[in-house]
Each structure stands twice: as structure tokens, then as C-alpha cells.
Amino acid sequence: QKEVEQNSGPLSVPEGAIASLNCTYSDRGSQSFFWYRQYSGKSPELIMFIYSNGDKEDGRFTAQLNKASQYVSLLIRDSQPSDSATYLCAVSTGANSKLTFGKGITLSVRP
């Protein structure tokens, strides 16, 4: 069964620190990788996606992909209390294929 695993968490970091969220996946055919953020009581919203090995930066967020090791991570620099949410990793095996989500990790940023 194709799985996406995330650290069980929760993760707590002080304001201004770097938060590192990790995700591993089992299907070597996976091609696209997504990070969603979900605030309590709200629906998931896309933060960013990555499909090439290496780093991709968008503001305070950096996604890192290593297909050989089958992991994808999300770094949040200068963490803010407003970043406190559940972060979901999702994986797709290609066009027209479904997204498989991890169970998410809850991040708490302490002021």
C-alpha cells in the first residue's frame, strides 16, 4: 500500500526559529510533492509544491526533495505564531493520479 509518513509530532518551536517538517513516501514512482497548511477548523491550503530534486524557496518556506531517499521536507524560517497549524504532506504519482496525504504534523510556534 502506498504510504506517506510524517513525524508524529506535535512540534513546538520558539518564535523566530526554523521549523523543520519531514515526510517520507513509499512509492518510488511518486512525481509531485505538495505541502498544505491547515488551521484548526479550516480546510487545507496549498503552501507549495516541488517535483525536482533539490530545494525550492518561496518566501520563508523552503521545500526540499530527495527522491533517492524518498523524503520531502518543509523548512519554515523565522517562524511566527501565525504559522501554528497542521502541515500536511501529499504525494502524487503523476498526471491524472490521486493525491495521497500523510496524517499531518501539528506545529506550535511559541511567542
Partner 1 sequence: KAGVTQTPRYLIKTRGQQVTLSCSPISGHRSVSWYQQTPGQGLQFLFEYFSETQRNKGNFPGRFSGRQFSNSRSEMNVSTLELGDSALYLCASEGDKGGQETQYFGPGTRLLVL
All three cell numbers of 78: 523565522
Q: Which stretch binds partner 1 (CB under 8 A): 7-15, 16-24, 73-81, 88-96?
A: 88-96
Burial bucket for residue 102 (CB in 10 Å: 0-12, 13-18, 19+): buried
Quote the cell numbers at residue 98.
490521486
**What's the closest the beta carbon of residue 17 comes to partner 1, in angstroms?**
26
Burial 24-42 (b: 16+ CB within 10 A, else e): bbeeeebebbbbbbeeeee
Touching partner 1, residues 33-72 (CB under 8 A): 34, 36, 42-46, 49, 51
Number of residues that bind partner 1 (CB under 8 A): 21
Q: Indicate the residue among 44 and 79 with the shorter CB distance to partner 1.
A: 44
Binding residues for partner 1, per CB under 8 A? Answer: 32, 34, 36, 42-46, 49, 51, 88, 95-104
